[in-house]
Amino acid sequence: MSPIKITVLHTGYIHIFPKRLEDGYNVFKAFGIATPREDWLWLPVSSYLIEHPRGLILYDAGWGRNMSPRGVYDRKAQIDALGSYLLYKINQGVVEKGMTAKEQLAQMGIKPEDIDYLILSHLDCDHAQGTKDLFGVKNVLLAKDEYRFARKFNIINRIRYHSRWIRGMPVTFFDWNSSDGPFHRSYDLFGDNTVQLISLPGHSPGHIGLKVRDMNGKYVIMYGDCGYTSKSWQLAQPSGIAVNRKKQIQSLKWIREESINPYCIESMGNHDPEVHPHVLTL
Ligand SMILES: [Zn+2]
């Protein structure tokens, strides 16, 4: 089999309340009223291009261009793009010119139409809001569990999720067809174990990570928001919003085991400031 190439892209930055990296945080604390804005953190927002012999995959869409129409922080544009003032209060973003997933793919000569699968780790805005920028992708994959949860009516979900980010896109809500991961629930994309979409619940119920493996068993783990940094799995410490803290700890323990395995080439969280854009080959 030809090599699998993974390109780690930074598709903008997210501005968050620092306690979001720690245990015990919840969505109400996310407003960070007691913490001055200058103490908030800017963290990268990542997307990953996976050039696999059986198709082109993009894992997470990142922010859309409409978050920063002129490439700089734009309060009014963000409230419109996020569709909610409250969501804007929790998450601000910046996408410099040329930085969206679509713009970076174009620099590589890749059009949205060339992408076989856009896989969304979950439906939070910094992962799904840019989906429509990629209009033309052949398939968008989202775990059925995530969609089911996002549709449940409660006040937090109404702040957190906006269906218009994915409306009109060719979304497949997939169910598990394989048994990898901490809960023995995964989706084997090509049926050959080279791309497993792993159920890593906790941060959100249908959150998925990716395990990309070559024929010799070497692999790369991309764990999305299951942990914000490697410290999260080293300490099995839930970070960010944990809808189910117990499940997130179980997910983190699995990431830890996988990350310290000698066959693991690299293990990456979506917002880890120590993970810079780079290319790796399996
Ligand atoms: Zn995120």
> Can you give the CATH number for the domain in which 141 is found?
3.60.15.10
Q: Kindly state whether residue 281 falls inside one of the protein's structural domains.
A: no
Distance, CA 45 to ligand 1 centroid (Å)? 7
Q: What pLDDT does residue 20 have? A: 59
Distance, CA 270 to ligand 1 centroid (Å)? 7
Identity (one letter) of the amino acid at 24?
G
Distance, CA 124 to ligand 1 centroid (Å)? 6
Distance, CA 263 to ligand 1 centroid (Å)? 27
Distance, CA 71 to ligand 1 centroid (Å)? 20
Total-model pTM:
0.92
Distance, CA 241 to ligand 1 centroid (Å)? 10
Distance, CA 226 to ligand 1 centroid (Å)? 9
Q: Kindly state whether residue 258 falls inside one of the protein's structural domains.
A: yes
Q: What pLDDT does residue 57 have? A: 98
Q: What pLDDT does residue 157 have? A: 78
Q: Kindly state whether residue 278 falls inside one of the protein's structural domains.
A: no
Give the domain range for residue 231.
5-273
**DSSP strands (E only) in the chain:** 5-16, 41-52, 55-59, 92-94, 117-119, 140-143, 171-174, 186-188, 195-199, 208-213, 219-222, 264-268, 278-281
**Number of domains comprising the chain:** 1
Q: Kindly state whether residue 111 falls inside one of the protein's structural domains.
A: yes
**In residues, how long is the chain?**
282
Distance, CA 282 to ligand 1 centroid (Å)? 26
Distance, CA 14 to ligand 1 centroid (Å)? 8
Distance, CA 227 to ligand 1 centroid (Å)? 10
Q: What pLDDT does residue 35 have? A: 58
Distance, CA 170 to ligand 1 centroid (Å)? 22
Beta bridge partners of 197: 187, 210
Q: Kindly state whether residue 39 falls inside one of the protein's structural domains.
A: yes
Distance, CA 1 to ligand 1 centroid (Å)? 33
Distance, CA 44 to ligand 1 centroid (Å)? 9
Q: Kindly state whether residue 55 falls inside one of the protein's structural domains.
A: yes
Distance, CA 108 to ligand 1 centroid (Å)? 25
Residue 199 near residue 143 (C-beta atoms within 8 A): yes
Angle at 47 between CA 265 and CA 22, to 5 degrees: 80
Distance, CA 12 to ligand 1 centroid (Å)? 11
Which residue in this structure is represented by tokens 């969501």?
A: 87
Rounded Cα distance, 11 and 100, in Å: 5
Q: Kindly state whether residue 280 falls inside one of the protein's structural domains.
A: no
Residue by residue, pLDDT tens for the chain (282 residues) are 789 999 999 999 998 877 655 555 555 555 555 555 666 788 999 999 999 999 999 999 999 999 999 999 999 999 999 988 988 988 899 999 999 999 999 999 999 999 999 999 999 999 999 999 999 999 999 999 999 988 887 877 787 888 889 999 999 999 999 999 999 999 999 999 999 999 999 999 999 999 999 999 999 999 999 998 888 899 888 866 788 889 999 999 999 999 999 999 999 999 999 999 999 999
Q: What pLDDT does residue 130 have? A: 96
Q: What pLDDT does residue 198 have? A: 98
Distance, CA 176 to ligand 1 centroid (Å)? 23
Q: What pLDDT does residue 34 have? A: 53
